Amino acid sequence: DAKTTQPPSMDCAEGRAANLPCNHSTISGNEYVYWYRQIHSQGPQYIIHGLKNNETNEMASLIITEDRKSSTLILPHATLRDTAVYYCIVRVAYSGYALNFGKGTSLLVTP
């Protein structure tokens, strides 16, 4: 699985968009980009995934650069409940089945 690099922490004002970057410069052509988050003391929660195209669901948007070497998770209107550690994970779908969590980005949403 490709290695990912994320900033250790970020702040965002409530109601504003939170843009969380992830660098995955060694990503292979068959590897997906996944985002999970872990709210304090809870189990990780799937947010979104993508291969090449930008993706959007009810939780967030995922923007993947054309060369696929980096991506950005966008929470369009951050709320206090979005305070969590966000993990960017790159892997081949189903390979080994497991997720390799790195250190993630600790996002603090402030009033």
Give the residues lining the site for another protein (CB under 8 A): 32, 34, 38, 41-46, 49, 85, 87, 93-94, 96-101, 103
Q: Which secondary-structure segment (H or E) carries 27? A: none
Residue position matching structure tokens 């504003």: 16
User: Closest distance between another protein and the C-beta of residue 84, in Å?
Assistant: 12
User: Closest distance between another protein and the C-beta of residue 85, in Å?
Assistant: 7
**Residue closer to another protein (CB basis): 69 or 103:** 103
Amino acid at the residue 101: F
Partners of 59 in the beta sheet?
none
Residue pair 87/101 in contact (Cβ under 8 Å)? The answer is yes
**Residue closer to another protein (CB basis): 96 or 111:** 96
